[in-house]
């Protein structure tokens, strides 16, 4: 039990639609990161939020966007869904601010695009 | 261009023996390394980490070794238990960033 909760756990969307995934970080954690894990691959960094500001972005197009709220919970939004967006989306939280902090992951949201 | 590589997709060991999982990296700027374990339908669980200023870190049955000159790290599990059967991911970060770069994972099976 990491204290990081994600919703929904599973969902199916149609190509071209939009999706919003949600994450509640562990208490006391002000940094949230999102990762995409395709089948047979390791998680790929999408972006990170620190105190409500985007603080680093991986190699993902602008149709992947996010928000962090004052309570440090977060959303990942994906517009114009494509079949290749089918993956496990992982949220991770940490205390932030320095190297060496343990990063805790939620159980993920499985997205299938048909 | 994979910066973190786990070249063995799978590993099978007998219960009680040592499991050694390997990881190589190409980016010499990485200064913090982590190992995560993942069961099916669950998120990755943090196992152990090591800073580049060290060459070994131990936590119970788990030990991570870092060879900076070879850009190689390994995770040793002794003794291995059937409950250790999972996919193990190696991850790295640099310069205080919490952006993790993951390998593709190694599936460990510990046979009773």
pLDDT at position A71: 86
Give the C-alpha separation, A15 to A36, whole Å: 17
- As given in the structure block, the two tokens for residue A62 are 């602008």
Strand B106-111 relative to strand B10-14: parallel, antiparallel, unpaired?
A: parallel
| Lowest mean pLDDT, pick from A13-17, A63-67, A68-72 | A68-72
Residue the block writes with tokens 């197009």: A61
The number of C-alpha atoms within 13 Å of B5 and in the hemisphere containing its C-beta is 10
Q: Which residues of A touch B (CB under 8 A)?
A: 2, 4, 6, 31, 33, 35, 40-45, 48, 56, 58, 90, 92, 94, 96, 98-108
CA of B55: how far to CAs of A59, B33, B94, B97, in Å?
31, 11, 17, 21
Q: Which residue of B has its CA nearest to A91?
A: B43
More confident residue, A68 or A27: A68
Write the residue in B34, B41, B43 that is nearest to A106 by C-beta: B43
Q: What is the number of CB-based contacts under 8 A between chain A and chain B?
A: 69
pLDDT at position A113: 98
Give the C-alpha separation, A24 to A39, whole Å: 24
> Per residue in B46-66, is it b (16+ CB within 10 Å) or e — as a string?
bbbbbebeeeeeeeeebbbbb
Tell me: pLDDT of A98 over 60: no
pLDDT at position A26: 81
pLDDT at position A28: 80
Tell me: pLDDT of A96 over 70: no
Burial class of residue B1 in the structure, from the number of CB atoms within 10 Å of its CB (0-12 exposed, 13-18 middle, 19+ buried): exposed
**Among A27-36, A68-77, B14-23, which range has the highest average pLDDT?**
B14-23
Residue B94 to chain A, least CA–CA distance (Å): 8
Closest CA to A35 of A98, A94, A100: A94
> Across chain B, what does the average pLDDT equal?
94
| Lowest mean pLDDT, pick from A16-30, A92-106, B73-87 | A92-106
| Lowest mean pLDDT, pick from A1-5, A46-50, B5-9, B12-16 | A1-5
Write the residue in B32, B45, B91 that is nearest to A99 by C-beta: B32
> Across chain A, what does the average pLDDT equal?
91
Cβ contacts (< 8 Å) between A104 and chain B: which residues? Answer: 46
Q: Span B10-33, mean pLDDT?
A: 96
pLDDT at position A88: 96
pLDDT at position A74: 95
Tell me: pLDDT of A97 over 60: no
Give the C-alpha separation, A94 to A99, whole Å: 11
Q: Span B8-29, mean pLDDT?
A: 97
Helix, strand, or coil (residue A84): helix
Q: Span B42-70, mean pLDDT?
A: 95
- As given in the structure block, the two tokens for residue B90 are 């190696």
């Amino acid at each position: 039990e990491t204290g990081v909760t994600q919703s929904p756990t599973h969902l199916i969307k149609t190509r071209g639609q939009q999706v919003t995934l949600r994450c509640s970080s562990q208490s006391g954690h002000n940094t949230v990161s999102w990762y995409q894990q395709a089948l047979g691959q390791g998680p790929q960094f999408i972006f990170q939020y620190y105190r409500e500001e985007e603080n680093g972005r991986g190699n993902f197009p602008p149709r992947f966007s996010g928000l962090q709220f004052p309570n440090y919970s977060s959303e990942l939004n994906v517009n114009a869904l494509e079949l290749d967006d089918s993956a496990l989306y992982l949220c991770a939280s940490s205390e932030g601010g320095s190297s060496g902090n343990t990063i805790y992951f939620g159980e993920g949201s499985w997205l299938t695009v048909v | 261009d994979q910066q973190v590589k786990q070249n063995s997709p799978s590993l099978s060991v007998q219960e009680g023996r040592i499991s050694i999982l390997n990881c190589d990296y190409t980016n010499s700027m990485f200064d913090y390394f982590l190992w995560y374990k993942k069961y099916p339908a669950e998120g990755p669980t943090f196992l152990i980490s090591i800073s580049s200023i060290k060459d070994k870190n131990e936590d119970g049955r788990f030990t991570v070794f870092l060879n900076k000159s070879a850009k190689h790290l390994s995770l040793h599990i002794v003794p291995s238990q059937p409950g250790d059967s999972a996919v193990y991911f190696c991850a790295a970060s640099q310069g205080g960033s919490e952006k993790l770069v993951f390998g593709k994972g190694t599936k460990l099976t510990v046979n009773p």
